[in-house]
Amino acid sequence: MAKPVVIVVGADKGGVGKTTVSRTLLDYFSANNVPTRAFDTESPRGTLKRFHPEITEIVDMTTTSDQMKIFDTLNAASPSVTVIDVRAGLLSPALASLRDIGFLDAARSGQITFAVFHILGPSIASLDEIAETANFMQGAKYFLVKNFINDTQFFQWDQATYNSYFHRIKDATELTIPKLNEMAYEQVEVASVPFLKFVANKGTADDAANYSFVLRGYVRHWLANVWSEFDRIKLTDLVGVNKANIRSGEK
Amino acid sequence: MSHTPVYIICSPRPLVGKTLVARLLSEFLLLKDGTVTAFDINLKEPSLLDYLPRLTETADVDNTFGKMQLMDRVIVNDGVAKVIDLGFHAFDEFFKMCDEIGFMKEAARRRVAPIILFMADTDRVSARGHDTLLQQIPASALVTVDNEYVLRGELPVAFSHGRLLRVAALPAFLKTYIDRLTFSFTNYLRNEKDASTELNQWIRRNYLSFRELELNLILQR
């Protein structure tokens, strides 16, 4: 039986694109034929659930019953990959909870593949989270995601500052999410469909839609760039899938 | 259903004859098909809108909304030929967008046939612009326009490999005559009884070149 994979997407800061990155991950796995389930911790609303309702469940990670719902079903659930979109401000408490329930130990001993996508915002406060989060990262794959939601440089113009944050943790892998055209982003928001469906000009029920060709083009171009980053970090290898699988959504 | 042609007349340089070719082509298509839609993205130069206000819409590629308004119309296979007079200032942004949104691929899928008419010039900016197009556009869809009035018979070697469309130079007095905003090439052909005049022959030669260009494209498919 395949080893369960848990991917946590989070940040302690809001508005840095956690759900956007989670959505690209779900699209990526879907295109690579990787069965995936997702948990949205933005209880009770749930933005992720709005885009991927079939595979997403809204949970409150601070409650024991919902923690059981996620982690006690890791081996039983048929999808081998679980993506958890952690609400703003909950990343560190969530990781602390995972440590407390012995999940991090299980990851360290190799029973579970555990990865954290830490989405960074363009502020020093956001970068300060790296050190805090890094304390939990033994045994986990740690990805520092630079999400270019605006024209930020992530202090790359100041090498001393940049190095003090990004080179502090040896085993962290940097990942870049390029900026998506604002109107294209808004149109996908309005459509409330996964990026893949938007590109394919489909509505929520797979019905034919009439999205702008220009905006679909921008989303396709952007998604291809994001996925090339996922390819670069060998995400499919991480979740134990043969890369020879046909990527169904990349037509 | 046959392909809908989209002619994009472009150059990264000003004053190389883009609007003249766009006018000629629009009038030719109107004469041949009875309908044509022209888009003017050339508001900083002599403008197609001034010459053919009934056929021409203005368009903008400076912002996403403008791009949507233009490209979502252009990508439709509705049987109405489109002519885009692309200003030099919009050259880079337009083709960058085309590359990003996969315009050529989507056009092929929707049976829309883009034909890029690149106005050649002897400078480095034109050479670089042409190189950019060579990387993006299939050779069959890229046509270099050799405007004798601009090049004076000195077409750079780099441009001479692909398909060529030649536009002969007119004497200065005829150039001034056709530059009047009220002048119409087709009306001139209809009203001028003497078919041997220089202007008459010039217009007919250009119309014939467009027809040959169109036939070549049909034969290629």
ipTM of the complex: 0.85
- Give how many domains chain A has, as a whole number: 1
CA–CA separation, A216 vs A197, rounded Å?
A: 10
* pLDDT (0 to 100) of residue A247: 58
* pLDDT (0 to 100) of residue A148: 83
* pLDDT (0 to 100) of residue A251: 42
* pLDDT (0 to 100) of residue A97: 87
* pLDDT (0 to 100) of residue A243: 58
Q: Is residue A216 part of a domain?
A: no
B34 in the Ramachandran plot: left (φ > 0), alpha (ψ -120 to 50) or beta? left
Q: pTM for this one?
A: 0.87
The parent domain of residue A59 ranges over: 5-180
Domains, chain B, ordered by start: 4-220 (3.40.50.300)
Share of chain B above pLDDT 70, in %: 98
**B102 interaction partners in chain A (CB closer than 8 Å):** 217, 220-221
**Cβ pairs A/B, distance under 8 A:** 36
Nearest chain A CA: its distance from B158 CA (Å): 31
Mutation choice for A interface testing from B65, B68, B98 by most A CBs within 10 A: B68
pLDDT digits (tens, 9 = 90+) for A107-120: 999 899 999 999 88
Lookup result for tokens 């409150």: A60
Structure tokens at A168: 């502090």
Contact state of B64 with A184 under an 8 Å Cβ cutoff: yes
Nearest to B22 by CA among B71, B74, B115, B85: B85
pLDDT digits (tens, 9 = 90+) for A89-145: 888 888 888 888 889 999 999 899 999 999 887 666 666 777 778 778 888 899 989
Residue B195 has pLDDT above 60, yes or no: yes
* pLDDT (0 to 100) of residue A62: 79
**A182 interaction partners in chain B (CB closer than 8 Å):** 64
Question: What is the pLDDT confidence band of residue A245, given thresholds at 50, 70 and 90?
Answer: low
Residue A248 has pLDDT above 70, yes or no: no
Q: Among A212, A218, A221, whose Cβ lies nearest the Cβ of B72?
A: A212
**B59 interaction partners in chain A (CB closer than 8 Å):** none
CA–CA separation, B22 vs B20, rounded Å?
A: 5
Q: Is residue A152 part of a domain?
A: yes
Mutation choice for B interface testing from A190, A212, A222 by most B CBs within 10 A: A212
Q: DSSP states of A61-93 as a string?
A: TTSHHHHHHHHTTTTTSS-SEEEEEPPTT-HHH
- Mention every residue, 6+ apart, whose C-beta is less than 8 A from residue B52: B23, B26, B27, B38
| pLDDT mean across residues, chain B | 93
CA–CA separation, A149 vs A123, rounded Å?
A: 12
Residue B43 has pLDDT above 50, yes or no: yes
pLDDT digits (tens, 9 = 90+) for A164-212: 666 766 778 989 999 999 999 999 999 999 999 999 999 999 999 999 9
Q: Is residue A218 part of a domain?
A: no
Q: Is residue A164 part of a domain?
A: yes
Residue A154 has pLDDT above 80, yes or no: no
Structure tokens at A173: 């892998």
**A178 interaction partners in chain B (CB closer than 8 Å):** none
CA–CA separation, B122 vs A114, rounded Å?
A: 60
| pLDDT mean across residues, chain A | 86
* pLDDT (0 to 100) of residue A15: 81
Q: Does B139 touch chain A (CB under 8 A)?
A: no
Neighbour count for residue A186 (Cβ, 10 Å): 13
* pLDDT (0 to 100) of residue A249: 45
pLDDT digits (tens, 9 = 90+) for B155-178: 888 887 889 999 999 999 999 999
Structure tokens at A199: 């590109």
Mean pLDDT score, A10-38: 91
Q: Is residue A246 part of a domain?
A: no
Q: Among B68, B97, B102, whose Cβ lies nearest the Cβ of A212?
A: B68
Contact state of B102 with A214 under an 8 Å Cβ cutoff: no
Q: Is residue A46 part of a domain?
A: yes
CA–CA separation, B76 vs B107, rounded Å?
A: 8
* pLDDT (0 to 100) of residue A242: 63
Q: Is residue A245 part of a domain?
A: no
CA–CA separation, B90 vs A169, rounded Å?
A: 45
* pLDDT (0 to 100) of residue A250: 46
Share of chain B above pLDDT 90, in %: 86
Q: Among A182, A184, A220, whose Cβ lies nearest the Cβ of B102?
A: A220
Contact state of A214 with B101 under an 8 Å Cβ cutoff: yes
Q: Three-state DSSP class for B58?
A: strand
pLDDT digits (tens, 9 = 90+) for A61-88: 878 898 888 888 887 656 689 999 998 8
CA distances from B116 to B22, B86, B97, B130, B175 (A): 12, 10, 15, 11, 25
Q: Residue A43's domain is classified under what CATH number?
A: 3.40.50.300
CA–CA separation, B24 vs B17, rounded Å?
A: 11
Residue B196 has pLDDT above 50, yes or no: yes
Q: Does B39 touch chain A (CB under 8 A)?
A: no
Q: Is residue A197 part of a domain?
A: no
